[in-house]
Amino acid sequence: MLIGGKLRSKYAGEHIDYALFGVFPAAIEADILIACGTSPSANQGGDRPQINLQNFNPKYLPSTFSRARSSSDLVESDPSLKIDTTHLKWESYVKAAYLGTLAFLRGQGGDKEGGLESGEKEDWNLLIDGRVPAGSGLSSSAALVVSATLTFLLLSRSSSKQHPQIAKSTLVSLSIESEKRVGINSGGMDQSASILAQGDAALYIDFYPSVKAEVVRVPGSSSGKGGYAWVIAHSCVVSDKVVSREGGYNLRVFETRVGARLLASALGLPTSDKPLLLREVVQLYIDKEASSSKKLTLAQALDEFITQVDLLFDTTGLPPSDPSTLIPKVPVTIEDLVRLSGLPQDNFTEIYLQSKIDPSRNKGGGFLIRERTRHVLEEARRVLEFRELCRDRDGDSGSENLKETMERLGSLMNASQKSCDTLFDCSCPEIGQITGIARAAGALGSRLTGAGWGGSTISLVENEKVKGFFEKLKEEYEPYKKMGEEEFAKVVFATGMGAGAGIWVV
């Protein structure tokens, strides 16, 4: 059997999924494929059969870990099942999927029915292939977790002679929870896109009040003259969310959560003993205004927040930032945040400090709550505008006003890049260079895609300009200069929109 999990790229909405705001991704054509099968256990003398992993890429060494004997026989009793989140390896993502699937099937009412008991003495063999480099910001980690989750569901069900049946929405939440096992407090965008995508269209994925996806067609997709291409260019800087999580991804999750709490108290909205997320705060505001007969759409509420955000933070007593450098005059410390939250230290720690964070990597060495919050609110607003522009045309690629629409989409992408660079500080000099070259080569918009701190860019380019665009990137971006054609084509490519994860019985 062959199982495919899709990689994704994003048109709009960076670092807002974990604040529960809607995002606008699409699956790209590249994927991660797993071929799987079973064999009589080679470990007959031993007490349990194995899961054997091999990767086509010789960089990723083969790996083996044990199948659980029963649902109660988990990590505690078998070190081979443990994920060392301080030294992640490629197979950690497969283990995360395995442990997540075990926990899920156990919750479903039994490991026997799910075929998890290894009484049958059968090894499971997985051969994995992926065409896009890891750490390229195209969510290869989520594609691997999704495809491995599907594989284990399939193998456990087929060994109990049942057909696998799982709602896509359940598979989405299962994959999101599984990937958290590697130690990243990730949002759900990548797994949702990898599973729910439909060919030739993007998705608007909303996380509030629960995950739902709307298929939205992006204009300009006709091939040839008058059409537009989406070009991915990898910066060749590995974006490793895990290595940089304490001063990067997990720190940003923390800053935006605390920002939500401070905003809520500045607005006199109820706060609770769990981390309020920014989308929830906006909803509390919409509901409060509705009770005094002022009806606000999400876009209108965001506009009000955006115009007031600096003011609101001032009333909480946060030190004002210097607008020219965005560095606060006084670094905001954890003690400041505890005081401003109004929570006792223990509660604050329990609610917000579940993962280790290190603000010393921030400009100025302190927390930048105002800048992070502003990015999330403005980026969420850009996503709504991007979606409206696409919805209005509903895939119509006729020439009337098309250029104007595409230019507006491009300028939203550029604004997003600027915000990721200055407010959220998740870009890097190399991404800055590529997006600069891309715009000079005629891209209507260019931005990073994914968590940032390396990884890839996505650019919107008129079809007629694509050839020259590729040449310009190759001439001007240092790491591309010495690449042969084949190597260059792996890191810079135009992509259509692919369909979501699937299973092929061969």
Catalytic residues: 190
Residue 174 interacts with ligand NG1 (CB under 6 A)?
Answer: no
Tokens of 40: 């009589």
Which among 135-143, 201-209, 319-327, 408-416 is the span making contact with ligand NG1, rule CB under 6 A? 135-143
When binding is defined by CB under 6 A, the residue of 69, 234, 241, 393 that contacts ligand NG1 is 241
Q: Where are the beta strands (DSSP E) in 192-239?
A: 202-206, 212-216, 228-234
Q: CA–CA separation, 379 vs 401, rounded Å?
A: 25
Of 3, 12, 18, 100, which lies in the binding site for ligand NG1, with binding defined by CB under 6 A?
18
Among 3, 5, 15, 205, binds ligand NG1 (CB under 6 A): 15
The number of helix segments (H) and strand segments (E) in the chain equals 16, 12
| Beta strand pairing call for 445-449 and 456-462 | antiparallel
Tokens of 237: 């800087």
Q: Which amino acid is at 9?
A: S
Helix (H) or strand (E) holding 29: strand 24-40
Helix axes 249-266, 334-341, angle to 10 degrees: 30
Distance, in Å, from the CA atom of 184 to the CA atom of 182, rounded to the nearest integer, reads 6
15 vs 372, beta carbon nearer ligand NG1 = 15
Are the C-beta atoms of residues 105 and 117 closer than 8 Å to each other?
A: no
Nearest-approach distance from CB 85 to ligand NG1, in angstroms: 13
186 lies in the site for ligand NG1, by CB under 6 A: yes
Closest separation between CB of residue 241 and ligand NG1, Å?
Answer: 6
The residue number whose beta carbon is nearest to ligand NG1 equals: 186
- Closer of 3 and 189 to ligand NG1 (Cβ): 189
Q: Contact letters (x/-) for ligand NG1, 423-452, by CB under 6 A?
A: ---------------------------xx-
Binding string to ligand NG1 for residues 380 to 419, with x set by CB under 6 A, is what?
Answer: ----------------------------------------
**Among 11-19, 161-169, 332-340, 352-360, which window interacts with ligand NG1 (CB under 6 A)?**
11-19
Q: Where are the alpha helices (DSSP H) in 181-277?
A: 189-196, 249-266
- Among residues 167, 191, 225, which one has the least CA distance to residue 464? 225
- Applying CB under 6 A, does 137 fall inside the site for ligand NG1? yes
- When the beta carbons of 14 and 378 are compared against ligand NG1, the nearer one is 14
**Given strand 24-40, what is the order of strands in its sheet?**
63-66, 50-55, 122-130, 24-40, 2-12, 502-504
Q: Is 280 in the site for ligand NG1 (CB under 6 A)?
A: no
Residue 253 CB, shortest distance to ligand NG1, in Å, is 8
Residue with token string 């979501």: 500
Contact set with ligand NG1 (CB under 6 A): 14-15, 17-18, 137, 139, 141-142, 179, 184, 186-187, 189-190, 239, 241, 450-451
